Amino acid sequence: MTTLDVVFPLLQAPRPEQLQALGNVYSIYGIRRIDLDEKQHRLTVEIDATRLTEKTLAGVLRQCGIHVGEPLHLTQV
């Protein structure tokens, strides 16, 4: 397993219903941890890179209504 932290900039603060949808993302195989930093306006998601790509992850987040930009950086954990 290759674990990566993918950091996305938040383009808009998530609303309560978007945060609830974000909680359902844990059911997707390969997502290990989600950290929302509202002060820094970023979302960090730890993924198993052998199961999920950052491009697919961005699509999943956007389907939840979370407005994210392109990943700022990837860090292997």
Please report the pLDDT score of residue 6 as a whole number.
95
For residues 75 and 8, which has the higher predicted lDDT (pLDDT)? 8
Query: In the chain, how long is the greatest CA-to-CA distance?
Result: 33
Say if residue 74's pLDDT is above 90. Answer: no
What's the domain count of the chain?
1
> pLDDT tens, 21-61?
988 888 899 999 999 998 999 999 999 999 999 899 999 99
Please report the pLDDT score of residue 73 as a whole number.
74
Any idea what the Cα angle at residue 18 is, between residues 14 and 23, rounded to 5°? 115
The CATH number that applies at residue 27 is 3.30.70.100
Residues of the domain holding 10:
3-76
Please report the pLDDT score of residue 77 as a whole number.
64
User: Which DSSP string corresponds to 31-58?
Assistant: EEEEEEETTTTEEEEEEETTT--HHHHH
